[in-house]
Amino acid sequence: MEETAVYTVTLNPAWDRTAAVEGLLCGGTNLLRAPRGDAGGKGINVSRVLHALGKKTEALGLLGAGAGDVLLARLRAEGIRCDFVRLAGECRTNTKVIDLKSGVTTEFNEPGPQADAASLAALEEKLRSLPREAVVVLAGSMPQGIPEDWYARAAEICRSAGTKVLLDSSGAGLRLGLAGGPAVAKPNRAELETLCGMPLPELADVVGAARRQLLGAGVQLAAVSLGAEGAVFVTASQAVLAVPPRLEAKSTVGAGDTMTAVLADWLAGQQGQGAPSGEALEQLAASAVAAASAKVLREGTEPPRPEEIRAVAAGVRCRVIG
């Protein structure tokens, strides 16, 4: 059987500049160490991870000029298939500064180019023509000119075409996108708190909110990332906490997207089997958290390698919490 492809949609790609400082000085001069550039945007990060793991993927979306030309050349040099709708405006450049003393990453993100109705219609037509049973990842922020409910529209287009959808967004993108019926949703804790309008201090609160807000909207599997604490994976019948080993992070940027890539790969392998349960859910949780954790050992948004994920996986601990 031919491998099912994962198509990622990035509406607001970026050229990501990452550098480190020895103690970020606000209001002063900071010397940037080891600056590097990477093709960025959540969906693009997902495709880069899948490609690094030897999986079939293609990056779709809207892409501006300027830095967008550099981004596209980099993706093609990495061997990643791309089919972007090009925009006239400048692609954004995002800067991420890692404070080596505190371990905290500070991000400076540009808004991105204006999208027009014709470009959006062209992207929607690409979604309609995707192979049946493919997986579509709708991920990241939306540029100017995109309706707030576009992820819901895109998910409906995909489902009508027979493709499965994974939603990884925040704010209105998550809240309104759920109406499109994605099979999997992957917010982080803060994004889920925003969605339900209340803090979620305990794991039981996270599980309850995921079932009410995400599964209640029709999602089969919700994965809520908790940063260094791991992630909670929730279905209607079971909730699993996966906790990674302690690691010295080089860059946390893209860790959540790496988890999304593993979930998308899992979804691509499903043939109408529904949500995982029992040992299968624990295995998926362990794999997703191991991959996300292995990513922090890499500079910038560089994806982890399979052998690095296997090494980290030995230290991941899973337990059923609901």
With residues binned 3-state (H G I as helix, E B as strand, rest as coil), the percentages for the chain, rounded to 5, are 35, 25, 35
Beta bridge partners of 63: 86
Q: Choosing from 38, 168, 257, 265, which is the catalytic residue?
A: 257
CB-based contacts of 251, cutoff 8 Å, min separation 6: 18, 96, 98, 105, 296, 298, 299, 300, 301, 302
The question of whether 257 is a catalytic residue gets the answer yes
- The answer to whether the CB of 132 falls within 8 A of the CB of 140 is no
The closest alpha carbon to 127, from 61, 193, 198, belongs to: 61
Residue 43 tokens read as: 């969906």
Which parts of the chain fold into alpha helices (H)? 42-52, 67-77, 117-128, 150-160, 171-177, 189-196, 203-209, 255-268, 279-295, 306-313
Which amino acid, one-letter code, is at 199? Answer: P
List the catalytic residues: 257
